[in-house]
Amino acid sequence: MASDLLSGKKGIIFGALNEKSIAWKVAEKAHEQGAEFVLTNTPVSLRFGELDKLGEKTNSPVIPADATNIDDIRNLFDQTLKHFDGKIDFILHSIGMSPNVRKKNNYDNLNYDFLMKTLDISAISFHKILQVARKKDAINEWGSVVALSYIAAQRTLYGYNDMADAKAMLESIARSFGYIYGRDRKIRINTISQSPTRTTAGSGVRGIDGLMDFTERMSPLGNADAEECADFTITLFSDLTRKVTMQNIYHDGGFSSMGMSYRAMQMYKRSLDCDDCPDPEDIED
């Protein structure tokens, strides 16, 4: 659906790993809508070579940066401003990783060094990017910054572990920095709270298949997929949403407003009749 919602706009997209990534879909859609951007990810992830393909497809340079490393972020902004010979208009933060989730450490048995890494990668990196951008005065007035979040910031969901704490912090950074950046430069900062989505990061969530079945049954509009998330992200980068800032916006088919749905109730009733189902006492958190 080519159009020109982002015509003339320039940006940085963090977090496209492969074609399943939400950031990958955002890059494709932003390109369709006339934007130019720089793609970035960690040096390690760039070694897989996938991002170069997206770079070629969208005519975008690929610049490596570990989003926890201030020097990398500074270099990324310097190179981006040079490439465009001017400031940018949008940033996507689509970054998340928990070593505790990877190592299957339960929430009541966290490794605290890992927890610090989870917070640094998944939340504090957002602050670092915003702080560098502001110090370099890298974003044009009425620019838009979006980070991707999840409802585990507000509600407890089985298996989401310390990523829930990271998402709560991420959303708080969007509000705190949104005030400062809005007041000083008219730049808006929002988070999108996305449905569970089958990506590399999403597949790391324990019980993702059951979770996605549950949220699909609970959501009147069904789960939102990565492409739909990209469409919504484009609206937030566009000039049509200039007065939306400091918000966490649910993009989840209505899941966040539900308590119980008929479709989920039917499933629950069926499992009550189930003789082979495990005893809830035997299920680990």
Among 27, 35, 67, 130, binds ligand NAD (CB under 6 A): 67
Residue nearest to ligand NAD (CB): 202
**CA pair distance 172, 174, nearest whole angstrom:** 5
**Nearest distance, CB of residue 68 and ligand NAD, angstroms:** 5
**Nearest distance, CB of residue 28 and ligand NAD, angstroms:** 13
**Size of residue set near ligand NAD by CB under 6 A:** 27
Nearer to ligand NAD, 223 or 245 (CB): 223
List own/partner pairs for 247-251 with CB under 8 A and 24 or more apart.
247/174, 247/190, 247/191, 248/149, 248/153, 248/171, 248/174, 248/190, 248/191, 248/192, 248/193, 249/190, 249/191, 249/192, 249/193, 250/151, 250/193, 251/192, 251/193, 251/194, 251/195, 251/224
Report the Cα 249 to chain-centroid distance in Å: 12
Nearer to ligand NAD, 186 or 231 (CB): 231
**Nearest distance, CB of residue 282 and ligand NAD, angstroms:** 26
Nearer to ligand NAD, 12 or 95 (CB): 95
Q: Is 197 in the site for ligand NAD (CB under 6 A)?
A: yes
Q: Is 143 in the site for ligand NAD (CB under 6 A)?
A: no
H-only helix segments in the chain: 22-32, 43-46, 50-58, 70-84, 99-102, 112-119, 125-135, 163-185, 200-203, 208-218, 226-237, 262-272
Q: Is 199 in the site for ligand NAD (CB under 6 A)?
A: yes
Among 6, 12, 30, 201, binds ligand NAD (CB under 6 A): 201
DSSP 8-state secondary structure symbol assigned to residue 11: E
* Structural tokens at position 251: 């993009």
Among 80, 94, 98, 248, binds ligand NAD (CB under 6 A): 94
Q: Is 238 in the site for ligand NAD (CB under 6 A)?
A: no
Beta-carbon contacts of 245 under 8 Å, excluding residues fewer than 6 positions away, are 178, 182, 188, 189, 190
Q: Is 41 in the site for ligand NAD (CB under 6 A)?
A: yes
Nearer to ligand NAD, 221 or 270 (CB): 221
| Residues near ligand NAD (CB under 6 A) | 14-15, 17, 21-23, 41-42, 45, 66-68, 94-97, 121, 148-150, 194, 196-197, 199-202
